[in-house]
Amino acid sequence: MNKLILAAAVVAAGFTGFSAVADGHSKSIGVSWASFQEERWKIDEAAMVAAIEAAGNTYVSADAESSSAKQLTDIEALITQGVDALIINAWDKDAIAPAIEAAANEGIPVVGYDRLIEDARTFYLTFDNVGVGRIIAKSVQAVQPTGNYAIIKGDAGDPNAMFLLQGMMEVIGDDVASGKIKIVGESFTDSWKPENAQKNMEQILTANDNNVDAVLSENDGMAGGVVAALSAQGLVIPVGGQDGDLAAINRVARGSQTVSVWKDARNLGKAAGEIASALANGTAMSDIEGASIFDGGEKGIAINAILMEPTPLTRDNLSVAIDGGHISKAQACAGAINGVDGC
């Protein structure tokens, strides 16, 4: 299995050398969002739009609203509108297949955005989600090396849920096998929704008489639901998450969340806009600067890809997000406990 990890500095430098309007014609870049309700997608979109427009191209988008059927209809409409490239944030990894076939039939290149579309005709752009899982587990294990762990996984239809779990188990697997760590609850969470995560956590607490020592949550929204369930029982235990959500960063400062792995959506959105513009102008996927081969999906299909490096945010380095302009000091530090970096 070939796992590609590209240093963030390479991507942050930009995909220079591509001219999306080299043939003298503006391109139309269609973007299909799986569900635009999560906080982070708005950050991605702003950077994506800026990159597309900087290349002299036009951004057009649709929100599938958590529906595989609507996403297929949305993409069909984008193709009918004559887009020159597609960026697809897939709601369901399997249900998206007819859309990829339709795009291929029209010669439209596709960027699989943040979520794997296991088809060699797509370009995969994301953060290293196995690495994110490792960071979540390492950060929580550093403060709670033994005891009863719960794992709150994302939606079962999203490959990222399993990539994150893979990374987590690479870290804690040996300790689980030895009995140092016991997994007392593990649940997929429909649609990655915080309220569903809260229900899952409540059930795990009830089943274990509140005897849970740490929680590995696969994103920050769900971590918020986990913290709500813990707080209702008067519990404060290590909780890991990822996405760099503003509320999660503040929870880290307050001490109710241990880590939020920040995947700077501005860099990811910018890269997607630049890559899609280059592909629309005829650049081959294998010629995208920084591209290598990823074959770590369920089917082992080799896909041109870039996997960017994330940044763990803990109470020891919150200034990274503040100084980087991702969150204001006031937002990050409201109610902060003593000793939080940057507060």
Give me the residue spans of the domains in the chain. Answer: 8-128+264-309, 129-262+312-333
d(CA 79, CA 107): 10
Mean pLDDT (whole number) for 121-146: 97
Q: How many other CB atoms are there within 10 angstroms of residue 12's CB atom?
A: 14
Q: Report the top-level CATH class of 8-128+264-309.
A: alpha beta
Q: Is 89's pLDDT higher than 50?
A: yes
Q: What percent of the chain is predicted at pLDDT more than 90?
A: 88
What per-residue confidence (pLDDT) applies to 38? 76
Do the first three CATH levels of 8-128+264-309 and 129-262+312-333 match, i.e. the same topology?
A: yes
What per-residue confidence (pLDDT) applies to 18? 38
Q: What is the pLDDT of residues 198-255, one digit of tens each?
A: 999 999 999 999 999 999 999 999 999 999 999 999 999 999 999 999 999 999 999 9
How does residue 24 score in pLDDT terms, banded at 50, 70 and 90? low
| Superfamily grouping for domain 129-262+312-333 | Response regulator (3.40.50.2300)
123 DSSP β-pair partners: 111
How does residue 93 score in pLDDT terms, banded at 50, 70 and 90? confident
**Nearest to 150, CA basis, from 185, 182, 199, 174:** 185
How does residue 35 score in pLDDT terms, banded at 50, 70 and 90? very high
What's the pTM value of the predicted model, to 2 decimals? 0.80
Torsion of CA 158, 163, 164, 168, to 10 degrees: 150
What per-residue confidence (pLDDT) applies to 11? 38
Average pLDDT, the chain: 92
**Nearest to 10, CA basis, from 292, 304, 198:** 292
Least-confidence region, from 35-39, 130-134, 141-145: 35-39
Q: What is the pLDDT of residues 62-79, one digit of tens each?
A: 999 999 999 999 999 999
**Nearest to 112, CA basis, from 310, 312, 326, 291:** 291
